[in-house]
Amino acid sequence: MNIIPFPQRSEWSALLARPVQATEQIEAAVAPILAQVRAGGDAALVELTRKFDKLDVTASGLEVNVAALDAAENQLSDTLEAAIRQAYQNIRLFHERQKQPVEKIETMPGVTCWRKSVGIDKVGLYIPGGTAPLFSTVLMLGIPAQLAGCREIILCTPSDHPAIYFAAKLVGVTRVFRIGGAQAIAAMAYGTESVPQVYKIFGPGNQYVTAAKMLVAKEGVAIDMPAGPSEVAIYADDSAIPSFVAADLLSQAEHGIDSQVLLVSTSKMILNSVNLTLTTQLSRLPRQAMAAQALKNSKMILLDNQEDALDLLNQYAAEHLILSVENAETVSERITNAGSIFLGNYTPESAGDYASGTNHTLPTNGFARAYSGVSLDSFVKKITVQHITPEGLQQLGPVVEAMAEAESLDAHKRAVSLRLASLEEENLA
């Protein structure tokens, strides 16, 4: 990786730009797929599955049967099954603690307001096939859906990996369909004869899946968040261990050729040391060609001081941010834009990707400036409730009347005035 020494602030925007995607061309390719599924239902899914996933299926074969889900556990090694179960426990515990008890607030005597959380009735999870079976994402999306009490949890994936099926059963997925790509997003967004329509769609995917999610969102189907290629930024000082930093960079780079990694430091020695060990570790990776391509989109940036480093990192707004620095927790308090933060030399991004407990479905492409990662809240709606007693209305009513009159909304005022008049008559009686 090339070291970029002491760039001017005026250069930062160009320096931190993500790889450009041909969004218009991708959407133009995806839109007909969405339209085909919307019009053709299961028949369209069969045709598109044969075309893109090379799977010869029938409409009745789109859904994975219960027997296949039940058999998946026996196809895993004891080690992997135990690992998945431990990850499930950790992720569930972290997300379970995100539940908030209902708190009734008396804003003034006789006026009580509160908020309750209600699980979204129908959610859809998408798990890509691609070059890696992302059963960990089934846990990350399925567990909060399970805790939220979503009535229907639909999973679409082109993969038949037993770990995906086992994880699906573990998190209480209602139905699983072997459908991939933009056509899977369309199926969940519009519904077909076999696939139920859902209210919100979650999950990663390639640029076509992402475009499909963005297009159906324009039509009123909720999605988890805008997404792009996965990324990591690392801030390292002289306390960092170069081999650890290199390993973290490569663990991100092996996701795909469009992944991006960024290393920021005030120490040229650290950057040089990381570069040396990076070359050595890359040569040993089974996915070295993919990782090497991703590194071409990546940068090492040398800055004068920590102030500049933190400003640059906040401007970048990384999906994953590793702070391999002294007093990492204190430094993290100055981070305002990041999807998830990893503190110190012994907190690799891989831990969050799999099993520490936090969710790995995070905002990319700079969206961490305004978006949070997936959490329990992503699967619930917050409904406010209020109750006003007669005494409360007598106190609050004049306030509402005055405001409604000032806005020239007479019916609003009348809705209060009639009640107040009724109460006055009762008091006189």
List the one residue out of 400, 388, 392, 381 whose CA is nearest residue 115.
381
Bridge-based pairing of strands 318-324 and 231-236 is: parallel
Instruction: Calculate the CA 252 to chain-centre distance.
Output: 17
DSSP characters over 199-252: SEEE----HHHHHHHHHHHHTT-EES----S-EEEEEE-TTS-HHHHHHHHHHH
| Strand residues in 109-256 grouped as ranges (E) | 111-119, 122-126, 152-156, 175-177, 200-202, 222-223, 231-236
- Contact between 303 and 289 under an 8 Å Cβ cutoff? The reply is no
Residues 336 and 372: their CA atoms lie apart, in Å, by 11
> Tokens in use for 81?
């099954």
Residues 303 and 236: their CA atoms lie apart, in Å, by 11
CB-neighbour burial class of residue 285 (10 A; exposed 0-12, middle 13-18, buried 19+): middle
> Tokens in use for 172?
């209480």
3-state SS class at 46:
helix
333 is catalytic: no
Amino acid letter, 267: S
Q: Which of 161, 319, 349, 360 is catalytic?
A: 319
Q: Which of 95, 161, 231, 320 is catalytic?
A: 320
307 is catalytic: no
List the one residue out of 397, 383, 389 whose CA is nearest residue 106.
389
Report the binding-site residues. Answer: 126, 183, 206, 230, 252, 255, 320, 353, 407, 412
Residues 139 and 356: their CA atoms lie apart, in Å, by 12
Give the active site residues.
Answer: 319-320
